[in-house]
Amino acid sequence: MRTTTPETVAELIASQWGDHRPGLKYADGVLSHHRTAREAAARAALLVDLLPPGAEPHIGVLLDNTPEFPFWLGAAALAGAAVAGINPTRRGPELARDILHTDCRILVTERTHLPLLRGLDLPGVHLLVTDTEEYEALLAPYAGAKPGDATLGPGPNPSSRLLLYFTSGSTGAPKAAICTQGRLAGAGASLARHFSVTPDDVHYICMPLFHGNAVIADWLPALAGGAAVALRRRFSASAFLDDVRAYEATYFTYVGRAVQYLLATPPRPDDRAHTLRLGFGTEAGAVDAARFAERFGVRLVEGYGATEGGASVQRTPDTPPGALGRAGAGDDLAVIDPETGRECPPAVLDPQGRLLNGSEAIGELVNKGRSLFEGYWRNPDAEAARTRDGWYWTGDLFFRDPDGFLYFAGRTDDRLRVDSENLAAAVIENILARWTRAAAVAVYAVSDEVAGDQVMAAVALREGAVFSPQGFASFLAAQPDLGTKMAPRYVRVVGAMPTTATNKVHRVSLRGEAFQTTDPVWWRPRGEDAYRLLEADDLAGLLAAYEAQGRADLLGR
């Protein structure tokens, strides 16, 4: 592993030159580190020739996890350009907006995604389709290029933009976070040191490369540590272990519900027969992390550090179960009540680490000190909201124990207000995850008929399990840290949890449908303790109550 921190990602790409060890593994073969650097250099030279004079040095990349994606990431780094990762689950005007908003004059895609572009008005955008003869012919004259041969303007430096990566956009149009080469090179080197990445490692990239997790937490530390990467075109829970064995992978990253999907696969006698040593990601939850370690023998490390770079939490050896760690170097993190602007009191935890004062202890994580946030592309309003009062507001809910360790409690958008009490969806989810019949759980707010919110949960059951209203109610009653306002009023049983392209729960769709769905919904009417099925007459009565209170328009928000 390298002992010095490079100043740019371009340096990391160039350092692969002459290294003929395996560097990139994928379904059709293996390429050396040298070959991947050569392919990046060829595309950098093509990029410099194709980009119109005076244009922003931005490339849109609309690809699955094929070798072309890291080739173009490397090309952008070498040329001093930036990649905007384009989400293939976006459609129509939203997809066109992402491409045009980031001023992409070149869009790299593949034939499987061409139908998404039909009918879109993309003026001035040059389309490159990677799996065509025309593309191969276009690249051929640049086959002899080397790193450093072709650059834009002064060439890459630490302040050069490299990524314009979109946030989830759950509360509006996605924002393109700016990530420079200097910050990304430092992040990759830091993770490589933290996880002791060596050239003998293989990083399995099964999360989409258009999302920051796969690039920042998987591809970059592999570059910094000299490790190989192995690509999966799209995440597959059923193919996960087969891929890990075939590629001899040692490390992977995850986001959202990926870990739950892996746990939902049928157990196999050889579940521990593999080379994995570590998984790193977010939102697995303490219960599922423990189940994963028990079944697969792999430690999962939960981390926190948004693509924007405004705050980070560093895990230390003394970090207690369920916590993410303490503030990262240089950060001055506080948990703030956004309504009062005051710091929330420390969490009160029982001997099992269960939160007992969530209403008071949970607030928004704020960085009051130095921030690495580099802004959003052409979005000053979003920048101002993120950095109001001179602080960096993460948009994430946390609580802090008396020793200063921080615990993730969800997004600020996932906060509920039930009978004037503030609740965090992630805290309730972590409790419901203990229910052995559940394969996946999502908690979200639905508007109350009169005021505030009610708690609703979507539950995907384990194979062969059935929903027992009595059994579920008994489970809830046995949870000592389930507050009096936390028990779901509505429980929707889903065949599969709806998710985004990055395997996060699609809460927007769940909230939008509320209890008006074809899935079975169980509920507890006011004044009743038992769950019963929400029938057509019940639904009609509920909707009439919303109408009578003038709150019908709040349903589905």
Cα distances (angstroms) measured from residue 494 to each of 94, 439, 474 = 28, 11, 21
Ordered by where they begin, the domains of the chain are: 9-185 (3.40.50.12780), 333-404 (2.30.38.10), 419-554 (3.30.300.30)
Please report the pLDDT score of residue 555 as a whole number.
78
DSSP three-state, residue 162: strand
Q: Give the dihedral sign, CA 226/228/231/237.
A: negative
- Per the CB < 8 A criterion, the answer to whether 142 and 42 are in contact is yes
Question: At 4, is the pLDDT very low, low, confident or very high (cuts 50, 70, 90)?
Answer: low
Please report the pLDDT score of residue 426 as a whole number.
86
Q: Which one-letter amino acid corresponds to residue 209? A: L
- pTM of the shown model: 0.82
Mean pLDDT of the region 400-405: 94
Helix-then-strand count for the chain, H and E: 18, 27
Q: Give the angle 179-185-191 at the CA atoms, nearest 5°.
A: 105
Distance CA 175, CA 362 (A): 26
Q: Find the Cα–Cα–Cα–Cα dihedral 177, 180, 181, 183, rounded to 10°.
A: -90
pLDDT tens for 258-314 read 898 899 899 999 999 999 999 999 878 778 899 999 999 999 998 888 778 899 898
- Per the CB < 8 A criterion, the answer to whether 400 and 335 are in contact is yes
Please report the pLDDT score of residue 168 as a whole number.
59
> Residues, the chain, total?
557
Question: At 159, is the pLDDT very low, low, confident or very high (cuts 50, 70, 90)?
Answer: very high
Please report the pLDDT score of residue 412 as a whole number.
79
Q: How far is CA 311 from the centre of its chain?
A: 15
User: What are the respective helix, strand and coil percentages of the chain, to the nearest 5?
Assistant: 30, 25, 45
423 vs 522: which has the higher pLDDT: 522
Under DSSP, the state recorded for 156 is: -
As given in the structure block, the two tokens for residue 193 are 């040191």
414 vs 470: which has the higher pLDDT: 470
pLDDT tens for 81-110 read 999 999 998 888 889 999 999 999 999 999
pLDDT tens for 425-471 read 888 998 999 999 999 999 999 988 877 889 999 999 999 999 999 99
Distance CA 486, CA 430 (A): 12
DSSP three-state, residue 343: strand
Mean pLDDT of the chain: 92
